[in-house]
């Protein structure tokens, strides 16, 4: 199976590190021209330096209306949109304020909606395109320690399904990737907040045993493993997969259906 995205332009939001950067690296490795986004120009340039291929960066806060406008002005059209940007963090569910709920919804959901609303019409007009959302196992198995995050990821499933229907019959597919517990810098920090400091391999096992015991992998997923699925869904090979929530969760979600 050969994934060839030569001649395709891909935009990956939240791509200066972690899953987003791994996705960008993977898509560039398939021949795509990749656009990285993030708020910190220095981190973006450092991320771009890790990619061997056609890469450019657009710095700015795409959660804001002005940042969104700047991005779409710099990159008017793309062939593949990967809505990866997201925030997460532990919080007492009874202490999450209205403002914090809104911040999670604005960042994790509304930013993706705006970008889809902008880029999807040109894709459908051309008769080819891919819109992808990085969702989470938390969309289905809501974690008690971060309900606001889980609910925002659940909302993305409705978003992708609705936009998939809007693109029906056009040659454009719209899907979500349900990423399981993944080993990123942010997740490692989050895990250490819950289990304390110590040798990482030991603390990773403790975190998975205590807080993610459903995982059949019994380890954190590496970002490249998420990227592999995104590369497939972004390719012509996945032409019959749309409106789907595709799991890369290490068996975390206890279900026999996707």
Residue 194 host element (H or E): helix 185-195
pLDDT digits 0-9 by tens, 20-55: 999 999 999 999 999 999 999 999 999 999 999 999
pLDDT digits 0-9 by tens, 125-180: 999 999 999 999 999 999 998 999 999 999 999 999 999 999 999 999 999 999 99
Confidence class for position 186, pLDDT limits 50, 70, 90: confident
pTM of model > 0.85: yes
Alpha-carbon distance values, 256 to 2, 87, 252 (Å): 29, 29, 11
Determine the pLDDT at residue 257.
85
Class (C level, CATH) for 9-178+223-248? alpha beta
Q: Is the pLDDT of residue 184 over 80?
A: yes
Confidence class for position 1, pLDDT limits 50, 70, 90: confident
CB atoms within 10 A of CB 94: 6
pLDDT digits 0-9 by tens, 77-135: 999 999 999 999 889 999 999 999 999 999 999 999 999 999 999 999 999 999 999 99
Report, as residue numbers or ranges, the catalytic residues: 149
Q: Which residues of 23-36 are buried (b: 16+ CB within 10 A; e: fewer)?
A: bbbbbbbbebbbbb
Q: Which residues of 157-182 are buried (b: 16+ CB within 10 A; e: fewer)?
A: bebbbebbeebeebebbbbbbbbbbb
Residue 57 host element (H or E): strand 55-59
Determine the pLDDT at residue 177.
98
Determine the pLDDT at residue 232.
98
């Amino acid at each position: 199976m050969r994934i060839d995205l030569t001649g395709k332009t891909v935009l990956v939001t939240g791509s200066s590190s972690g899953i987003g950067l791994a996705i960008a690296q993977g898509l560039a490795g398939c021949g795509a021209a990749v656009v990285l986004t993030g708020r910190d120009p220095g981190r973006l340039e450092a991320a771009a330096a890790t990619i061997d291929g056609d890469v450019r960066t657009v710095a700015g806060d795409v959660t804001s209306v002005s940042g969104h406008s700047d991005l779409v002005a710099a990159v008017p059209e793309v062939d593949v949109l990967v809505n990866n940007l997201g925030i997460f963090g532990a919080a007492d569910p009874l202490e999450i304020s209205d403002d914090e709920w809104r911040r999670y919804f604005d960042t994790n959901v509304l930013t993706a909606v705006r970008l889809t609303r902008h880029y999807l019409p040109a894709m459908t007009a051309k008769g080819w395109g891919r819109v992808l959302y990085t969702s989470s196992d938390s969309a289905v198995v809501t974690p008690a320690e971060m309900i606001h995050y889980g609910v925002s990821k659940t909302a993305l499933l409705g978003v992708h399904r609705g936009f998939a229907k809007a693109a029906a019959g056009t040659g454009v597919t719209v899907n979500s990737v349900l990423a399981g517990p993944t080993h990123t810098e942010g997740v490692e920090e989050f895990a250490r907040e819950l289990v304390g400091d110590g040798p990482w391999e030991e603390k990773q096992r403790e975190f998975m045993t205590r807080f993610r015991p459903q995982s059949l992998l019994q380890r954190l997923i590496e970002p490249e493993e998420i990227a592999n699925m995104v590369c497939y869904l972004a390719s012509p090979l996945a032409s019959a997969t749309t409106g789907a929530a595709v799991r890369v969760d290490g068996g975390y979600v206890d279900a026999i259906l996707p």
